[in-house]
């Protein structure tokens, strides 16, 4: 098997993790919270995912008063989106 020499002079196999330590062993890595998702979405006590509605940031003059009023507040996400966001928020 070929070995490659890195800049600092230590040898390691290609594909091996640089920070892998023998002390850690084969432990699973912790799942981190996706910070952008946590700032935009909220999970309710019943497990639904709430998010603010899209389409109200700009070009408001072209939208009717009723349309802008209905864009207020938060909305429950679709089931497929909820599954994706919950996996991002799982910490």
For position 28, what pLDDT does the model report? 87
Domain carrying residue 91: 41-52+65-91
pLDDT of 8-28, one tens digit each?
A: 555 556 666 665 555 667 888
Residue 14 is assigned to a structural domain of this protein? no
Residue 48 is assigned to a structural domain of this protein? yes
Cα angle: 25, vertex 90, 80; to 5 degrees: 125
Residue 26 is assigned to a structural domain of this protein? no
pLDDT of 38-59, one tens digit each?
A: 999 999 999 999 999 999 999 9
Residue 34 is assigned to a structural domain of this protein? no
What residues pair up with 11 in beta bridges, in sequence order? Answer: 5
Instruction: Count the Cβ atoms, other than its own, within 10 Å of residue 90.
Output: 10
């Amino acid at each position: 098997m070929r070995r490659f020499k890195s800049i600092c002079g230590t040898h390691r196999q290609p594909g091996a993790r640089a920070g892998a330590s023998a002390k850690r062993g084969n432990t699973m890595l912790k799942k981190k919270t996706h910070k952008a998702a946590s700032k935009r979405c909220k999970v309710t006590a019943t497990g639904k995912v709430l998010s603010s509605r899209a389409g109200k940031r700009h070009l408001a003059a072209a939208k009717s008063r009723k349309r802008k009023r209905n864009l207020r507040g938060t909305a429950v996400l679709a089931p497929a989106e909820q599954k994706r966001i919950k996996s991002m928020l799982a910490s």
